Structure formats: C-alpha cells, structure tokens
Amino acid sequence: MLTMADIGFDDAAALLHRHGLTLLRVADGEPIPGSYWGEREAGIIGTSVYARGDTPVHSLLHEAGHLIVLPPERRAAVHTDATDSIEEENAVCVLQALLADALPGVGLARVLADMDAWGYTFRLGSAAAYVEHDADDAWAWLQAHGLIDGQRALLFPTGA
C-alpha cells in the first residue's frame, strides 16, 4: 500500500487546504488522534486530518473525504467518526478515489487497488468495479452536494 512517506505530505496538505482542511503530521510511532481504525490509519478532529508516514494514502483521502462532504459548520463537531449515513459513506468511497487523481504519483487506479488490499468490500468484488458500475447513488449524492459536475469531475472550491 502506498503510504504518506512514499508521496510526502506537501501535495496532500495543499489538496486538503483547498477544501478548508489542515493536514497535521504525527510523529512515527505516536498514536494518531481521531483515528477510527487505530494503528496507522488517518484520524479526523474538526477541520484537521492526522497522519503519520506509515499512514496509507487511501486512508488519508477517505478520512479527508468525510470532512469534505460536510458543510463547514458541521466539521467543527467531528471527532473520529463523521459518517451520518450509508449514502454518505458510499459517496466518500468514490470521492477518495477522485481525490487520488489530484495527488502526483497516486492516481485513481492505485487508490482503488489499495482499497481492495486494505479490505474494503463491494458487491461486485472490487473498488474499481464499484466505482465504475455500482456507485450510481454515490455519484448522484456527490453531484447533489455540489462536489462533482455532470461529467463526474471534481469541483474544487475557489477559497479555503
């Protein structure tokens, strides 16, 4: 799995900043604040995403996605678990794959493969099959919430 140490923190920090989020690096071996899964998985508290060098990139993008889909006024109350619904969780799975294309050296295909390696499970057997053939509800959710356009392209906010 591709980790933050593999890609560095600068591009990921810039990507999160475009969405009004802050990436905070946690020292190697230290517990990650706000981590739902523990160990090396990314954490979220308020508008901050926490990660170590051994944090998988897909984990960082997934947790950031949870904050990105929330209206700014709801982000402040988030600590560790941000999901309100299955629909939102599905949308975040698609969003994390789309965000991967905005990171040099990462890309959608790599994150989808890493999601499978981590243990995400989908009806059609893989994250790629889900995103391509079984995620119409997630795509519609992202579009209804102004995060993608009709062509399924990300719409980045103009200000942080």
Q: What is the pLDDT along the chain (160 residues), one digit of tens a residue?
A: 999 999 999 999 999 999 999 999 999 999 999 999 889 999 999 999 999 999 999 999 999 999 999 988 889 899 999 877 899 999 999 999 999 999 999 999 999 999 999 988 888 889 999 999 999 999 999 999 999 999 988 886 533 3
Domain shared by 48 and 14, yes or no: yes
Q: How far apart are CA 44 and CA 77, in angstroms?
A: 11
Last residue of a domain, one of 26, 42, 75: 75
Does 38 map to a domain?
yes
**Residue 142: its pLDDT value, please?**
96
**Residue 159: its pLDDT value, please?**
34
Q: How many domains does the chain divide into?
A: 2
Domain shared by 66 and 92, yes or no: no
Does 151 map to a domain?
no
**Residue 158: its pLDDT value, please?**
33
Domain shared by 71 and 21, yes or no: yes
Domain shared by 92 and 137, yes or no: yes
Does 154 map to a domain?
no
Last residue of a domain, one of 48, 75, 102: 75
Domain shared by 8 and 70, yes or no: yes
Does 81 map to a domain?
no
Q: How far apart are CA 75 and CA 102, in angstroms?
A: 22
**Residue 155: its pLDDT value, please?**
82
Domain shared by 71 and 91, yes or no: no
Domain shared by 124 and 100, yes or no: yes
Range of the domain at 132: 87-144
**Residue 119: its pLDDT value, please?**
86
Does 159 map to a domain?
no
Q: How far apart are CA 82 and CA 135, in angstroms?
A: 20
Does 33 map to a domain?
yes
Tokens of 89: 């969780």
Going by the DSSP 8-state scheme, the letter that residue 104 receives in this structure is: T
Does 155 map to a domain?
no
- Assessment of whether the complete model's pTM goes beyond 0.95: no
Domain shared by 14 and 62, yes or no: yes
**Residue 160: its pLDDT value, please?**
34
Tokens of 117: 């390696």
Does 19 map to a domain?
yes
